Structure 1
Amino acid sequence: MPEVIQEWVTRQADRRPEGTAVAGADRTLTYGEIEALSNRLARSLRERGCAQGDRIALLMPKSATAIACIVGIYKAGCVYVPLDPASPVGRLQRIVRACGSRWVLAAGPVGDALEALTTGGEAVPGLAVGWLGRAPAEGRRFTPSLTPAEIEAHPSGWLACATRSHDPAHILFTSGSTGAPKGVVITHANVIHFVEWAKGYFGLGPDDRLSGHSPLHFDLSVFDIFGAFAAGATLCLVPPELNVLAHRLADFIRSERLTQWFSVPSVLNYLARFDAIRDGDFPALRRVLWCGETLPTPTLIHWMRRLPHPVFTNLYGPTETTIASSYYTLPGCPGDERAPIPIGSACGGEELLVLDPDLRPVPRGEAGEIYIAGAGVSPGYWNDPDATRAAFRPDPRKGEGEERIYRTGDMGRVGDEGLVYFLGRVDSQIKSRGYRIEIGEVESALSCLGFLSESAVVAIKSEGFEGALLCCGYVARPGAIPTPVDLRRELGRALPGYMLPARWRAFERLPVNANGKIDRRALKEVFEQHESQTARHA
């Protein structure tokens, strides 16, 4: 087992340098090429003052170049912080400031965001830009401190690194209930433990071709990338535009001869909804994996009836416990569309605990809150000790030592067969299209819109592929007549697209309960009734 993540690349480069590591739309890199490029980048960063443990942000579309940059950041002894190019500039600024990054590596159509990050009144002080784009960043108000030509001038050989397994590998920012994104710290050991377990359990090898579907700021991408590198397999990057083109996405799976598909369930729903899967389709496919939210059993049956050859595995786990903490591989196609699919058993070295409010195990069949213990548990949230203490509790079975359990906020039960079943959320956090969304963060952004006097957000179940629909009820200020288009546009300046409500309704006054607080249950019923009526008349 390696000490640090980047060792997987070096090992594969030594064994099979001509083997394809990453196949992307921009370029294809062999293991030898990605080793050389990442070594040059690491030397360039060190030469320019990047020190052990510095946080380096990555702002570029998913590409072979981006993957090489991630490895190079690790080799420089630094911590990788992915930024979503589609996020509003304000959110990017908050993340860069929160993690104290002094460098951002960038490429692609991100010039406007870079200008906002580096120039003007809201710029992040002292932020240097490493421009990795093939075309020079001309006509922009920022001046790159590092270019591809300068990187290429450095030696490509191996270089020593002081990073150890317990050190942070990356910080993944998720939705925060206070309105500020939370940075989840993941160590090299966290990642290595899960990937090595998964490599053994799924039998990953050099002849595998793994999908790279998830965006880089989403934690599933860590398994896409390093699951492939640990096995010496090929990572096949899925073009993001195919997410709204079901039949072209299916064509990609066929033409790339993928042996493993891994995504959030909404993608599987989408392909099923548009009937993009033929009987006996995807002959090279060996495994279909999903994680991030519940996959409806009818969708699973749709897939399994058409594809009898791959194995289907449900993975479960929040970002705070590193990619996934439990698994359930279907023994056969479910016979009942109403039968729930368990989240299963804990991955090797991890534990799923279903506990009552006093942190005692609940009897089998009874509902409790899911806690996770073991090798995947994060050290906590970056520079946020209060949030860390609230979510990462001392393990009640082991006293006040260093062993901790993570409170997921999910409800679950243990079935008679010993498998764990997911029952839903206990708080205001929801998942839509696989993204974790704190309703509080959406409401915090809404409260900043000057033409609203009151607003509230609820989530309702969607019959589509989204999983959940965000719905906003609002009261406009006197004299203001904002339309849903106006609200989406203004809110989109503060939040990424996946966090914007899909349904809007104006009220003279929001419903309240006996305590005078907003009655969210009543608000939810209003949207559910409207959705039901719309469906009947469709």
Structure 2
Amino acid sequence: MSILVHELLSDNLTRTSGNTLLKERNMCITHSELENRSNQFSNYLFELGVNKGDRIALLMDASIDAVIAIVGIMKIGAIYVPINVSCSKEKIDYILNETESKIFIAESKYLNGLLANSSLNKIKTIIRGNEEKGFEFYRFSDYLTFSREQLKRNKIISKDIVNIIFTSGTTGTPKGVMVRHENITPFMNYVTKRFNHNELTRTLGKTPLSFDPFLTEIVPSFISGGFVYLYNNLISINHFLKVLHEEKITNFGCGPSLLLLLVENKELLRKYDLSNMQQIYFGYENCPLNTIRTLQTYLPQVTFINGYGTTETYASSTFHEINYPIPDDMESLPIGEPIEGTELLILNEEFSLTKPDEIGEMVIRGNSVMSGYWKNPKTTDEVLRVNPLFPESMEKVYFTGDLVKRNSNGDILFIGRKDTQIKIQGYRVELLEVQGFIESHPLVKECCVIVIEQKGTKKMVCYLVTKENVLTELDEIKSNLISNLEPYKFPHEWKLISHIPRNANSKVDRKILENMYRKEIHSEHNII
């Protein structure tokens, strides 16, 4: 069995060689063509002086060329560092310097404003695109002049690093998560087998390079002989559904924000033939139950799969296939049981296993756990600690900072982050638990509960989107919930909003809401 990510492609070519693997607009590439072109790119990098362990930064869209580059980088034993194309110049400069990148591969269109960057004068830069730039560079397309045979093979083992994924850095300096081959290949083999990926599987790849799910959309097809359509930008929900229809897509992954968008445009679902769709994976944060209930009625043939994962433990550590219909008494969607090779420990503050319905921190052990944060041993030691249940083993496990619990049925429920746990009136309150309860009301599309601290006191403020966004709905929601929610969990203020703001990772951006609230209060105080 293959132990290196790129071997999942080469070792399966006897079955998959002529199958179309990737499509980007009207361009296609087969499995064997990716093998050959990635060999060429690997030889190109060797000619440019790249050695095993060197870092190569990528500022690229999800494209066929990007996949060619990534597989070529793996084959030479180098480490690729994907950078979000929406990053600021300062963050790009930080990542290039922090990783001491030897090569920088960038789309021409994203280099505007970066030319004055001192880092680019020290790094060999490969440009994809035709636009001339005012500094010395190499052309991406030059790789096509190199041999299609892999001329230079460094010894690569499963513990070698594949990539360094930098976190969004919303709470401070970005952290670079080091991901090894042994973190990735077991996961790819598992999902291919569990979800029956085969030559008829047609995946929509819509994740940017800088997020770890990017590879999870591509690599299973290395194994199965399947097909991936690379979809870069969500032009409109109508265009998105048109692509699903025309490309006969069988599965895709997303965050709750896209599912909410589908619900808002649910009548469009009947306009297109989505009968090929079999699975929709979602995760990143809690999804309202009503969202899935609605989509199940419009897409009854689709299995909705909730996942839980962190970048530090590669992609997804759990999966839960949601029953149809969802039981009326379900409080929130379970995150599922651990994947093969992973164990979940739910520990209380005494580092003992929790009892049913007792909230504890999710701790993950297994072959998916990262090797650490790049050049950041202090932060690494804060989250990678010796297994408290078996300290003699000296095994490092990952303390996620996420709060979960097992209910009386044995299902694991995501509660929230330790940093969203607050104390009000002497009670501990999990903000995401309150949020989930509010979202269970049929009039609520989604909501976010934040905490505002003023003059030493804390109050909860609930921003919510309702079906019609009218005050009569808000009154009905509040009157219904006040009798079912403990008084200390009931938000002090309620505010209707047209949509919940999200960051580049599609996660709810609480800081925007906090700033909105403070600006509103400031304006009120200045009214004469």
**TM-score w.r.t. structure 2 length?**
0.79
Amino acid in the other structure paired with 1:184: V
Match of 2:256 in 1: 265
- Amino acid aligned to 2:21: A
1 CA distance for matches of 2:256 and 2:381? Answer: 31
Structure 1 residue 193: Cα displacement: 1.1
| Residue range with higher mean Cα deviation, 283-292 or 171-180 | 171-180
2:366 aligns to what?
Answer: 374
Give the Cα–Cα distance (whole angstroms) in 2 for the partners of residues 301 and 355 of structure 1.
32
Larger deviation: 199-208 or 123-132? 123-132
Mapped to 2, the partners of 1:48 and 1:249 lie a distance apart of: 39
The Cα offsets for residues 353-410 of structure 1, whole Å up to 9 and x where unpaired, read as 1111221111111111111111111111111000000011111122154422111111
Measure, in 1, the Cα distance between the counterparts of 2:461 and 2:13: 47
Cα distance, 1:178 vs structure 2: 5.9
Shift of 1:179: 2.2
Residue number in structure 1 paired with 2:34: 34
Picking from 380, 391, 403, the partner of 1:399 is 391
Q: Distance in 1 between matches of 2:405 and 2:519?
A: 26
Look up the match of 1:201: 194
Q: Distance in 2 between matches of 1:337 and 1:115?
A: 58
What one-letter code is carried by the residue in structure 1 that aligns with 2:406? V
1:148 maps to which of 141, 144, 155? 141
Distance 1:342 1:252, change over 3 A: same
- 8 Å contact kept, 2:307–2:335: yes
Mark the CA change 1:381 to 1:306 in structure 2 (over 3 Å): closer, same or farther: same
- Structure 2 unaligned spans of 5+: 422-430, 433-449, 451-459, 468-503
The equivalent of 2:354 in structure 1 is 362
Contact 1:356 1:369 in 2 (8 A): yes
Pair 496,125 (structure 1): closer, same or farther in 2 beyond 3 Å: farther
5 Å-filtered alignment, 1:118-129, equals: 122-124=118-120, 126-129=122-125
Task: Tell me how far 1:132 sits from its aligned partner.
Answer: 3.0
Asked if the contact 1:280/1:307 (under 8 Å) is kept, the reply is no
Matched length: 449
Give 3-state SS (helix, strand or coil) of 1:389's partner: helix
Query: CA offsets per residue over residues 403-460 of structure 1, 9 Å max, x none?
Result: 22111111110112222100011116999xxxxxxx9xxxxxxxxxxxxxxxxxx996
Aligned match of 1:535 = none
Instruction: Kindly indicate whether the alpha-carbon contact (under 8 Å) linking 1:412 and 1:421 is maintained by their aligned counterparts in 2.
Output: yes
Residue 127 to residue 311, structure 1, CA distance change in 2 (3 Å): same
1:487-526 pair list within 5 angstroms: 502-503=512-513
Residues 338-357 of structure 1 mapped to structure 2, 5 A cutoff: 339-357=331-349
Asked if the contact 1:257–1:285 (Cα under 8 Å) also holds between the matched residues in 2, the reply is: yes
Corresponding position: 1:225 with 2:218: yes
Decide which moves more: 93-102 or 104-113.
Answer: 104-113
Aligned to 1:182: 175
Q: Which secondary structure does the structure 1 equivalent of 2:391 belong to?
A: coil
1:52-451 map, 5 Å: 52-117=52-117, 122-124=118-120, 126-133=122-129, 135=130, 137-138=131-132, 140-149=133-142, 151-159=143-151, 160-176=153-169, 179-242=172-235, 245-275=236-266, 276-278=268-270, 281-336=273-328, 339-427=331-419
- What SS class does the counterpart of residue 271 from structure 1 fall into? helix
Q: Aligned-pair distance for 1:26?
A: 6.5
Greater shift in the superposed pair: 252-261 or 393-402: 393-402
User: More deviation in 68-77 or 495-504?
Assistant: 495-504
Q: CA RMSD in A?
A: 2.9
CA distance in 2, matches of 1:500, 1:123: 33
Q: How far off is 1:72 after superposition?
A: 0.9
- In structure 2, the CA distance between the partners of 1:200 and 1:113, relative to structure 1 (3 Å rule), is farther
Taking the aligned partners of 2:191 and 2:320, their CA distance within structure 1 comes to: 13
1:226 is matched by which residue type in structure 2?
Answer: V
1: CA distance, partners of 2:363 / 2:310? 11
CA deviation map 1:281-337 (0-9, x unaligned) = 511111111121111111101111111112221110111000000111113221438
**Aligned residue type for 1:189:** E
Query: For residues 497 and 262 of structure 1, what CA distance do their matches in structure 2 show?
Result: 12
**Aligned partners of 2:245 and 2:272 also within 8 Å:** no
The one-character-per-residue Cα deviations of 1:53-110 (angstroms, maximum 9, x if unpaired) are: 1111111111111111111111121111101111111111111111111111122411
Structure 1 counterpart of 2:443: none
Alpha-carbon shift at residue 9 of structure 1 (Å): 1.8
Q: Does the aligned pair in 1 maintain the 2:77–2:156 contact within 8 Å?
A: yes
Shift of 1:190: 0.4
What displacement does 1:153 show?
Answer: 1.6
Show CA shifts across 1:102-139 (max 9, x none).
1111224112154244xxxx435521111233x2x31x
CA distance in 1, matches of 2:369, 2:329: 34
Answer yes or no: is the 8 Å Cα contact 2:208–2:232 preserved in 1. Answer: no
The equivalent of 2:10 in structure 1 is 10
Q: Is the 8 A contact 2:241 2:272 kept in 1?
A: no
Query: Which has the larger displacement, 9-18 or 371-380?
Result: 9-18
The answer to whether the 8 Å contact 1:279/1:306 transfers is no
| Aligned residues of 1:280 and 1:308 also touching (Cα < 8 A) | no
Give the residue type in structure 2 aligned to 1:380. G
Q: Between the two structures, name the one with larger relative contact order (CA 8 Å, sep ≥ 6).
A: 1
Q: Distance in 2 between matches of 1:337 and 1:308?
A: 20
Deviates more, 1:152-161 or 1:365-374: 152-161
User: Residues 312 and 144 from structure 1, CA distance in 2 versus in 1: closer, same or farther, beyond 3 angstroms?
Assistant: same
Percent of aligned positions that are identical: 28
> 1:19 is matched with which residue?
19
**Cα distance between partner residues in 2 of 1:113 and 1:71:** 29
**Per-residue deviation, 1:463:** 3.0
* Contact 2:356–2:406 (CA under 8 A) maintained in structure 1: yes
Structure 1 CA distance, aligned partners of 2:162 and 2:265? Answer: 39
- 1-structure distance, mates of 2:335, 2:203: 22
Q: Distance in 1 between matches of 2:175 and 2:68?
A: 26
Asked if the contact 1:280–1:306 (Cα under 8 Å) also holds between the matched residues in 2, the reply is no
